[in-house]
Chain A
Amino acid sequence: MKLAKFAFVCAAVASLTAVADGEATSSTLGLMKVDNPNNLRTIPVGINFAAADGSAVSVSNAVKTAGLPEGTLLYAYNKSDSKYYIYSIDGNAWTSNAKYSVDGNGQMTLDNTAPANAMLLPAGSAAFLVLPSTATPEQVNVITAGKPVDTAASGVIGSGVNLCCFPVGKAVNLNQTNTSASDYAAPLKATPTVTQFVENSGKTAISTIGDTIVVLRSDSGSSRVYYYDGTNWGYIGKASGAKTFITSDATIPGGVGFWYNSVQASN
């Protein structure tokens, strides 16, 4: 995987759905089932949650180790030092492992300094899991946890591969017209009508012809690639027996992480 630059940031940690005094309601769990994960051993995980006090949730609290094979690695991007922090499962707990940085040419530089266990992942960020080659589960269940975020957050899509998710966790039809400021519909089209996901250093549009979005399909363990043709997002699929560019169901399921590969020049 070529990682030229990872520049997605969550500019706003949204307000929380407060648990009122006297209500018997817990925090929330997310359950993502991935069938046949061996077809794609890298699983993106969207962070749709915050910590109980509204701050960013830590890696160890955001992604639960239960159900993941021993040796699974978690890669989380720390924008403060532009490095990937790597954690591994050791005895059912995340253990800080190493860091590495990726330069503009996709070259990786390993830094064996163990990252902090309390690395924070703001809502709207994402991490990805890498299953060990020795594990061949038929299904992997990824459990996330935290307090739901109910307000849209801004984000920046930078040049190259961006690992991100929509913080509120709604399913997003990439071609639907926005109707309100909190609506994530069509956040990535050329002429978005709301400000979410438009903060790309002064550019008036995020998406450019040639941009792609890669979404893991949890039902098959494979991924679907969406392409932007200047007007709509779509994928190559079969319709009436012939391969065609399908735009009718260009929807990213709620709560999943995805890769956005931008061909724009670096911001």
Chain B
Amino acid sequence: MKFRSIIACSCAALFAVAAFADGVDDALVTFSTQGPDKYADGTVVKDGENYALVWVAKDAEFGGFTAEGKLVDEENNLLVGVFPRAKDGHCQETFVQINKTFADTYGAAGGFCLYLLDTRSVDKTTVAATKADLEKGVQGFGQVAALEVAAGSIKVTTVAEAGEAATASALPAGILPPVIKNAEVKDGMFVVTVEQTVPYVRYNLAGGETPAANDKAGIAEAPKAGDATKTIELKYPIKEGESVKFFKVTRDPISK
């Protein structure tokens, strides 16, 4: 089984499945990370942040999450659960009791991975605490541990540090691009009014010296969550001698 290397966390992971537990029909999954686990922007994971336990079929790759917290590839991936277990910069020791038949069947047919989710709010002060919160915005994710369960044995695989940027969560199919409703220069700010946005995606400005506007990402004063019911404003503080002459609205970059 090949796991895509999309590591966002610098951590050593401890992840184990014990095929016993308190009953003949149950298996106990335990996992934790040594930490510090980090988001793609380099900050240490906030307390209460969520980890996702995912099963991936053999010979398949993890397809990632959508911005609504759903699996992109629901045929070859299975979301076992989401656990708000981050504290003091790592995933606390977690015990999950699952059906043994499920563990044996899926363990033989694939493997399990643990992913740190980035569910921070726009101002990055809170993380998703409920299922509804998760559906409002999973901005990105990074693999922190992988596990293969061989027949009759337990094999723990620790994911090495990679230092790569986390993968941005996928946008649901059919999502419409944001539309610029208005733009003006006001009080030293280039203010862009945007419509056709969705609440589970953060938006930002990108800019450059050519109309491609791709020299610099994340140049708005602050990213904004979308709003399906009204327009949002993104502001760019104009600086003396600024070379940025072209702008476009993009998804808030997961890594700056």
Interface positions of A (Cβ within 8 A of B):
17, 19, 21-33, 48-49, 64, 66-67, 141, 143, 145, 148-150, 168-171, 254-255
A26 to B244, CA, bound (A): 17
> Are A29 and B184 in contact (CB-based, < 8 A)?
no
Question: Distance in Å from the Cβ of A185 to the closest Cβ of chain B?
Answer: 14
> Are A150 and B212 in contact (CB-based, < 8 A)?
yes
A153 to B175, CA, bound (A): 32
A255 to B210, CA, bound (A): 7
Contacts A22-B170, A145-B183 supplied; 14 other A-B pairs, CB < 8 Å: A21-B173, A21-B174, A22-B173, A24-B203, A25-B249, A27-B248, A28-B211, A28-B248, A66-B185, A67-B185, A141-B185, A143-B183, A148-B210, A148-B211
In the assembled complex, B9 has its CB within 8 A of some CB on chain A: no
Which 10 A-B pairs give the minimum distances between C-beta atoms?
A26-B249, A148-B211, A66-B184, A24-B251, A169-B211, A141-B185, A28-B248, A26-B178, A29-B247, A169-B210
Question: Distance in Å from the Cβ of A121 to the closest Cβ of chain B?
Answer: 14
A29 and B173 in contact (CB under 8 A), knowing A24-B201, A67-B185, A168-B211? no
Interface positions of B (Cβ within 8 A of A):
170-175, 177-180, 182-185, 190, 192, 194, 201, 203, 209-213, 238, 244-251
> Are A66 and B183 in contact (CB-based, < 8 A)?
yes
A169 to B209, CA, bound (A): 8
Contact of A148 among B179, B180, B192, B212 (CB under 8 A): B212
> Are B177 and A148 in contact (CB-based, < 8 A)?
no
Question: Distance in Å from the Cβ of B206 to the closest Cβ of chain A?
Answer: 8
> Are A29 and B246 in contact (CB-based, < 8 A)?
yes
Question: Distance in Å from the Cβ of B73 to the closest Cβ of chain A?
Answer: 14
Question: Distance in Å from the Cβ of B247 to the closest Cβ of chain A?
Answer: 5
A24 and B246 in contact (CB under 8 A), knowing A67-B184, A143-B183, A145-B180? no
A30 to B244, CA, bound (A): 9
A26 to B175, CA, bound (A): 12
Residues of A contacting B182 in the complex (Cβ-Cβ under 8 angstroms)? 66
A29 and B180 in contact (CB under 8 A), knowing A169-B211, A255-B210? yes
> Are B183 and A64 in contact (CB-based, < 8 A)?
yes
Report the nearest A residue to B209, measured CB to CB: A254
Residues of A contacting B203 in the complex (Cβ-Cβ under 8 angstroms)? 24
* 19 A-B contacts (beta carbon < 8 Å): A19-B177, A21-B173, A22-B175, A23-B171, A23-B177, A25-B178, A25-B250, A26-B179, A26-B248, A26-B250, A28-B246, A31-B247, A32-B245, A33-B238, A66-B182, A66-B185, A143-B183, A148-B213, A254-B245
Question: Distance in Å from the Cβ of A160 to the closest Cβ of chain B?
Answer: 28
Residues of B contacting A23 in the complex (Cβ-Cβ under 8 angstroms)? 171, 177, 251
Report the nearest A residue to B66, measured CB to CB: A22
Report the nearest B residue to A150, measured CB to CB: B212
Residues of B contacting A149 in the complex (Cβ-Cβ under 8 angstroms)? 211
Report the nearest B residue to A65, measured CB to CB: B184
A4 to B82, CA, bound (A): 72
A27 to B245, CA, bound (A): 14
Q: Which of A25, A66, A149 has the most CB of B within 10 A?
A: A25
> Are A30 and B246 in contact (CB-based, < 8 A)?
yes
Residues of A contacting B209 in the complex (Cβ-Cβ under 8 angstroms)? 171, 254
Report the nearest B residue to A30, measured CB to CB: B246
A48 to B190, CA, bound (A): 20
